[in-house]
Structure 1
Amino acid sequence: MTVMIYQQGEHEALWVQANRKELVERIGRAIREDGTVQPLQGLHLYRHSVPPEPVHSVTNPSVCVVAQGSKEFLLAESRYRYDPFHYLLVTVDLPTVGQILEASKERPYLGFRLDLVPTLVTSVMLDAGHASPRDRTDVKAIDVSPLDGNLLDATVRLVRLLDSPTEAPVLLPLITREIVYRLLMGEQGARLRHLATPEGYSSRIARAVERLRHNFDQPLRVEQLARELDMSVSAFHQHFKAVTALSPLQFQKRLRLQEARRLMLSEDLDAQGAAYCVGYQDASHFNREYKSLFGVPPMRDVQRLREEVLTYSDR
């Protein structure tokens, strides 16, 4: 019996090792130049041969897996590092800062992100016979957990579809459902169940996040938003921060500043124009908050980013 258990463990270790190797090879073959591609609906592949500058963005509900290298997400004061042995799960739109930690020309960073649709999570929950969480406690919307063999195997089979364009339309939804099922059965299952369930505070905070994302350029009326969610103002603040690690005002501010940065970079707006577009009425106030988040004043930051893009493209 002891020999059989040892052989089974050894076989599983070899299986996991082979899957990790295959994931590196397939992603490396699918994206040969540094950057990001979306070869299938909801599937994003990443490759970087040098660690780029930290990226400020809004991360959608998704599961992130690293095939090679390592990466870190910063949210408020917390850091979430993941690598080929760990996955990152995000269950609410969050304004995060992403930083690739390990990447080189010899061993480029390779990873992927799979978008998670709340209605799909709910459907898989019902099929699996998972009841809605009975408690109404808050569950934070981001964390890192070990990547087990079954979840890794499902991700490898998902990436294999890149070489099977005729099978992908049929198998992509099935394998995505399996990945959601593996997540529900894993260490972070409670996180998905809470945020895909209409009852409880977490799903109400998810609705508040969606509202803020769509109306970030409008004045923040916390009292009205709390009333629409059937919560007191103090409870809304408490539960919003428990789920997102930010206050509603901090959340809105990051959305505004990230969009202003995008407008200056991609649409060539000046600082004052970008500030007005995202809801700021006072340019000096905008400049102070921009510098507080990104470290330098707006136009200097944009100039630096453009120079980095030119330097990077010349390599």
Structure 2
Amino acid sequence: MDANRSELASLIDRCAKTDGLHATAIPRLSVLRSTRPTEPLHAVYEPAVCIIAQGSKQAILGEAVYVYDRNKYLVISVDVPVVGQVIEASEAEPYLCLKLDLDVATLGTLMLDAGPGPASVEPAPALGLSKVTPELTDAAVRLLRLLETPQDISVLAPLCEREILFRLLQGDQAAKLREIALGDTRLRQVSRAIDFIKRNYRESFHVEDLANEARMSSSALHSHFKAVTAMSPLQYQKQIRLQEARRLMLLGLCDAATASHSVGYTSPSQFSREYRRLFGLPPQRDIARLREFPDGFVAA
């Protein structure tokens, strides 16, 4: 186990020469590096598994704090706004992590081959932690090794990815993963509501319309949406709006007033209040701070 962990860290270290998130030649696989603890970062996490080789991180969803390191992996089941922060990292021992986006089609075919398994009766929070096993680490190492033999990726990477998902389906997050792949579960209904909000976040909507989109009652939508995301649909929309406005300003595409209008706000003062409540500073000061430390933010 220790040898595999060391090799996993070494492979990620060779792939990620600078701080930040780095895509790889393997579909859906990214690696992350940070040489110092980071500021809290608001970001939308997408369905994925994150396996840390070195260092540690915390993710906050609502009131729940998820701390993970090389002994625990993180599973994300739906797109959800999270506050993430690297809490253990240094120049000598940087934070090193791999992120594999979850492919619904691969999960579905794997479930058919693996046979029946546990299923949740009610939706669970979008984030979940489980213990890293030697078998999971070994599969992750073999997947990363393929980056050093690019000619093998097209044939062998899908096999390694499939094995990683199989190992996850044997762990504590099996029910969550099965809900991602199954077509008619509460989690998939919540996911449909999330997709609708993300597509239409600039526009006002009625909860009844959102419930129809999710194919569930308004009361059930509110209950299950909050169980998964730790927020109401309107709170979710607000976070998506504010994060998009922040992104636009950080890229220098517009000022605060234009950004607020472009994401659906009609009142600049309301935008400023809600922005400060979420990010801790008014828009202009927050963007100045982000630009001062551009490499201090690692998203997953």
Q: CA deviation at 1:131?
A: 5.7
Per the alignment, residue 268 of structure 2 pairs with 283
Per the alignment, residue 8 of structure 1 pairs with none
Q: CA deviation at 1:195?
A: 2.5
Question: Does structure 1 conserve the Cα–Cα contact (< 8 Å) formed by 2:118 and 2:174?
Answer: no
C-alpha change, 1:163 and 1:251, in structure 2 (3 Å) is same
Q: Secondary structure at the match of 1:309?
A: coil
* CA distance in 2 between partners of 1:136 and 1:187 (Å): 15
Per the alignment, residue 201 of structure 2 pairs with 216
1:28-69: per-residue Cα shift (whole Å, max 9, x none)? 112222222111221111111112222211111000011110
C-alpha change, 1:229 and 1:49, in structure 2 (3 Å) is closer
* CA distance in 2 between partners of 1:71 and 1:205 (Å): 27
Per the alignment, residue 193 of structure 1 pairs with 178
* CA distance in 2 between partners of 1:27 and 1:275 (Å): 38
Indicate yes or no: 2:205 matched with 1:205: no
* CA distance in 2 between partners of 1:234 and 1:87 (Å): 33
Please list, as runs of the form range in 1=range in 2, the aligned pairs for 1:42-191 lying within 5 A after superposition: 42-130=28-116, 133=119, 136-191=121-176
- Stretches of 4+ aligned residues off by more than 3 angstroms: none
Question: Does structure 2 conserve the Cα–Cα contact (< 8 Å) formed by 1:69 and 1:84?
Answer: yes
- TM-score, normalised by the number of residues in structure 1: 0.90
1:89-148: per-residue Cα shift (whole Å, max 9, x none)? 001011111100011111111111100022221111111112684x64222221111101
Question: Does structure 2 conserve the Cα–Cα contact (< 8 Å) formed by 1:132 and 1:194?
Answer: no
Q: Secondary structure at the match of 2:293?
A: helix
Indicate yes or no: 2:20 matched with 1:35: yes
Question: Does structure 1 conserve the Cα–Cα contact (< 8 Å) formed by 2:117 and 2:174?
Answer: no
* CA distance in 2 between partners of 1:192 and 1:297 (Å): 39
C-alpha change, 1:110 and 1:311, in structure 2 (3 Å) is closer
1:219-248: per-residue Cα shift (whole Å, max 9, x none)? 132111112333221111001111111111
* CA distance in 2 between partners of 1:55 and 1:178 (Å): 31
Please, which of 241, 245, 267 is the counterpart of residue 226 of structure 2? Answer: 241
Letter in 2 for 1:198: G
1:140-189: per-residue Cα shift (whole Å, max 9, x none)? 22111110111111111111111110001111111111111111111110
Q: Secondary structure at the match of 2:139?
A: helix
Letter in 1 for 2:71: F
* CA distance in 1 between partners of 2:117 and 2:8 (Å): 34
What is the aligned residue count? 296
Question: Does structure 2 conserve the Cα–Cα contact (< 8 Å) formed by 1:140 and 1:191?
Answer: no
Letter in 1 for 2:137: L
* CA distance in 2 between partners of 1:228 and 1:18 (Å): 49
1:272-314: per-residue Cα shift (whole Å, max 9, x none)? 10011111111111101000000011111011111223999xx
* CA distance in 1 between partners of 2:277 and 2:237 (Å): 15
Largest Rg, 1 or 2: 1
Structure 2 segments unaligned to the other structure (5+ residues): none
Q: Secondary structure at the match of 1:305?
A: helix
Q: Percent identity?
A: 46
Letter in 2 for 1:203: R
* CA distance in 2 between partners of 1:132 and 1:98 (Å): 29
C-alpha change, 1:199 and 1:309, in structure 2 (3 Å) is closer
* CA distance in 2 between partners of 1:220 and 1:295 (Å): 27
Please, which of 276, 284, 295 is the counterpart of residue 299 of structure 1? Answer: 284
Please list, as runs of the form range in 1=range in 2, the aligned pairs for 1:1-40 lying within 5 A after superposition: 16-39=1-24, 40=26
